[in-house]
Amino acid sequence: MMIVATSIGFLGFTIGSGITYLWIRSNSVKKFAYLELEVKARAKAIELESERMLQNSTVQIKKNELEQEKIFQDRLSELEKRNRSFILETKLLKEEKSKLKKIQQRVEDKSHTLEQLKIRKEREINKIILKMESVASMTQDEAKTAILEKVEEKSQSEIAGIVRKYEQKAKEDGEKRANYILAQATTRFAGEFAGERLINLVTLPSDEHKGRIIGKEGRNIKTLEMLLGVDIIIDETPGTILVSSFNLYRRAIATRVIELLVEDGRIHPGRIEEIHQKVESTFEKKIYEEGENIIIDMGLFPMHEELIRLLGKLKYRASYGQNALAHTLEVAKLASVMAAEMGGDEKLAMRAGLLHDIGKALTQEMGGSHVDLGADLCRKYNEHPTVINAIYAHHGHEEPDSVESASVCAADALSAARPGARREVLESFTKRVKNLEDIALDYDGVERAYAINAGREIRVYINAGIVNDNEAVLMSRNIAKNIEDRVQYPGEIKVTVIREARSINYAR
């Protein structure tokens, strides 16, 4: 029984195994068939891709062949063009060489002809000389000298005629050009006339202020005249006083000091000195601002600060009654226009015109020639050599060395010579009054000297620590004697020497 069961089990196992084998084999066959199809599909795709790549390669090869053929054709065409050009140049060169040979041959022929003519000329001259020797009984050397003298005389006459002709033409052209330039300069610049007087008028609120300005026993007016260096005239004219001085700067300061004192109401020596110091400080600032504004307007930066300050100070300086700053601006603008018309540097000409009279800002304090003072200043502050030459040239100390210098000289003459610009009588008067102050300032111990009362009086303030009372008396006599010897004047001049001792201490 057990054997039968075992046999059945073995038979079942065998049948199961067979069925399993058959199932596995069927699946393997199906899977192989699928893989075979997949491989064939991939092989077909690879074959198609290879064909496509082969076609692309073929197209690219043909394209490259076409490009190479085009490049070859272009190069061949260029070589042919160069070859034609070379052939043409060679042909032209041959023609030029042929022409050159012909020209050389002509030159050689002409040179030969010229030599023949020279030989014939020498022969003719020798014949003439021999004839002259036989006729005039002269040697060959004497005959040559006579001929040369005649030729030279004739040549000089012809040359002189030519020179006179062109000199006259140059003169006419120069006059026309100069007139044109002057006309252009004067018509393109419209200057204003600024005349200067010797007095300023100060208006007072009432006649009561006249007494306050005079002060007790005249102390206030004496302090004013001593500090300000002006002549204060108080007459019967209602509500006004006159400030007189030939020095514009001192007169302007004095006028402003009196106006401020009248506004303030406190008028005494201490207040006068305080106001005077403030006004002087304010004027110094205004002077620099005035000069700076001029430089900015004209576009002439950079310029040294001292030159700018002195330029502003020219506003308070007059020459023959003509305001120095107005004259300077007029010269600068005229010179600029003239230089531009003549092809020069208009900015340099304007700078030279602006500084040509800069020395006048110092002449009232330092004395001497404004030309030398101005040239020394500009040289010290490294101004352009043309500027220095213009300073010397406008008064004839040097010849103008450039168009710009010549323009300044012409503009200066034009500005000064126009009708009404200057008054000779006023200038001679101010020079005489200035000489009075200079004479007094030459003495040791003199601190200040002011010519007042239209030059009929000079007040001299001396240092009490250097000069005693007896020396002060002697000094007044010496000054008076010196004025008699050196200055011409009508009537008489009063010399007042003032010696004031002042001791100052501070309680702290």
User: What average pLDDT values come out for the chain (508 residues) when binned by 10 residues?
Assistant: 65 73 72 77 82 84 85 84 80 78 81 81 74 63 68 62 64 58 50 54 82 84 83 81 82 88 86 89 88 88 88 80 81 86 86 89 74 89 90 86 87 69 55 81 86 79 84 86 79 82 69
Q: Could you tell me if 376 and 318 are in contact, meaning their C-beta atoms sit under 8 angstroms apart?
A: no
pLDDT at res. 195: 42
What is the separation, in whole angstroms, between the first and last Cα of the chain?
154
pLDDT at res. 299: 86
CA distance 429 to 412: 23
Instruction: Please state whether beta strands 457-463 and 199-203 pair in parallel, antiparallel, or not at all (unpaired).
Output: unpaired
189-291 CATH choice from 3.40.50.1970, 3.30.1370.10, 3.40.50.10310, 3.30.2090.10: 3.30.1370.10
pLDDT at res. 39: 80
Instruction: Please state whether beta strands 240-244 and 457-463 pair in parallel, antiparallel, or not at all (unpaired).
Output: unpaired
Instruction: Please state whether beta strands 494-500 and 457-463 pair in parallel, antiparallel, or not at all (unpaired).
Output: parallel
CA distance 95 to 378: 68
> 3-state secondary structure string, 437-501?
HHHHHCCCCEEEEEEEHHHCEEEEEEECCCCCHHHHHHHHHHHHHHHHHHCCCCCCCEEEEEEEC
269 alpha-carbon distance from chain centroid: 49
- Structural domain boundaries in the chain: 1-133, 138-187, 189-291, 299-422, 430-500
pLDDT at res. 2: 60
Query: Which residue in 179, 167, 272 sits closest to 224, CA to CA?
Result: 272
Task: Examine residue 302 and say whether the peptide bond preceding it is cis (omega within 30 degrees of 0).
Answer: yes
* Predicted TM-score (pTM) of this structure: 0.48
CATH code of the domain occupying 430-500: 3.30.300.20
CA distance 64 to 68: 6
pLDDT at res. 389: 92
Q: Which CATH superfamily is domain 299-422 in?
A: Hypothetical protein af1432 (1.10.3210.10)
